[in-house]
Structure 1
Amino acid sequence: MKILVVDDDPLFLELAASLLNSLGYNRLHFAKSADDALSQIEQAATPFDCFLLDIQMPGMDGIELCACIRDIETYRHTPIVMLTAMTEKHYVDGAFQAGASDYITKPIERIEVKARMRNVEALLAERSHTGLVSQQLKNAEIDFGKSVRFEDPVLLHDAAWVLPFSSLENYVLRLGNMRLFNTVAYGFHIENAHEIHARASGLEFIDMLTDVSRAIRDALSAFPSFLSYAGYGDFCALVPKLAHFDRSFAQLQINDALQLTADMSGEQSWPVPKVKLGAAQSCKLLSFKDPTDMLYGAIKKARRGGEREFEGFTRWQMGVSDENR
């Protein structure tokens, strides 16, 4: 794995090098500023597989650098892990809004870095598979519907506003229940997603998900929010708890937009997506439950009014107890 570590502190770069080497990561490159990092990215003969970024640096900070890296097509979905002493919520929000995949606070510990780097390896494997499938779909121009599995939280390459679901999980884990108290999650369930998946090609299914994500984004445009696709035709969004959000109107707005998109695109072999928006799911202030339960609970609430349950969907069914409904 080719890794670029960016930090203006030479002592931390030495520490990071020693720690990563001890974990078996030897293809390390280092930059002392955002400008240095961007220069190395531009001149690299082979792309980097992962970035570890500090936030507070002279000139361009790490959050701005993260956004710049995401603007480069090659690195649209490359893992970016923030390594920083900044623990305040607005820094965490800013990092994930800029496209960060994960967030580690200093001082760093070997056990945590090891676990996070294993997550990075899993992301690389997942995104390599997704990228291969997408390329096959584009090149072959035949029905690859079975190649895009219905249960997968696929990456929507043409929807930069959609976070990978693993990044959304990392975001809520980093904040914890206390700092999520003023945030609520909403689930968006495509009731006929299974039918569409069966009738559309893989590329068409991804295009449909992109259209749905765009309609959801527009419905949430008045609020700061995070949106992610979780697989099984389900999206999840985080919005401020105090936001005046008319759920019925938002659902109507989303479905009207999807009907308009279908009318403009002409005939297609699958039905217009039907989206159901669930009730808000929040965290209890002093709860010791896994913060990601909020995401799973929101999706369960959206799916509860759907046409049917899908076999094998035990993660959402079992992830949250009835007391959180």
Structure 2
Amino acid sequence: MKPTLLVTTQPGFETYLKEELKTLNIKKIIKYTMFRGLLKVLSENPYETIEVIKKEKDKFKFLMRAVPLEVECPSDLESIRKNTISLLKTKSIDGKSFVVRCNRRGRHKYTSEDVERFIGREILENFDLKVDLKNYDFKINIEIIQDTAYISIFDDNFNEFRHEGNIKKSKYLKRYIERPLNRSERKMKELVERYPNIFDVDIAVDIGSAPGGWAKVLAENAKVVYAIDTGNLRIKKDNIIHIKKRAEDIDNLPQCQLLTNDTNLYPEESALLTVKLSKFLVKNGYIIHTIKSENKYAIKEDISKVKKIFENANIKILKIMNLKANTINEVTLMCQKRA
């Protein structure tokens, strides 16, 4: 079996969607990915799998999109180019119009738009085709999941499935509840008591601040705290600057001496956010990062995955701590940026 489908749901409902997918009347394996709201289905082929999804759509309460996958390859641009051209050569496409669409998740040196433009130019040079962004005959769909890319050619007969009913209802699904302010506060207070010098800084950046427990304690020690979260903060202080954006959309911050992350994300996804914002951290600046595993048995493996991500970004793990306020599924890392 091979990856044949990416399936999305509202973040926090992955377990429910996995149970629904298990009932599909085909041989399959369902896997979690490193990103919230995204599962991967392994089966014999994408054509049968997407048709079964469409046929059995009424059983799904949590499925939002199902994207069939034809080709898997590394996520560097040259590999995507080669595999896209190879896939196109198996199709009857002469004289037709096309569009390229890329959905990118993870940390890369290129944007989704860069991929679309690059692949579009390569196709025009190699095939008798024309671009039409609206009324195209087929779509080249590229899904990038960190180090892996999946390529598919969609047309009227083979396409992704959108469960419009579930998409409309998704705004009413409230799986992630705000963390108790007192517990997040207790974690940060314990860290400050152990390592006061780390928190005596000019600027600290806190990723995923809502409801505000970490930002509150940080503001008692740092001169300025940049609290990054789309949610609302329960606390207000003159030295807390609330940036109401997703961390992955932040492209401008002042240099900071401390970066903290206590987000409710899958361990690898959370680690990638820390890496992204570490570009605003001074050399030898400190990072406090929480790993939140699915269960206590996954912690060791998750630490290994996060360590690899951090090592590739020149971030060294100094300490792995079990704080009194951590849940049984959590560990806290103290790290330092080396370059």
TM over 0.5: no
Query: Normalising to structure 2: TM-score of the pair?
Result: 0.26
Higher RCO by CA contacts (8 Å cutoff, separation 6 or greater): 1
Query: Normalising to structure 1: TM-score of the pair?
Result: 0.27
Structure showing the higher strand proportion among its residues: 2
Structure showing the higher helix proportion among its residues: 1
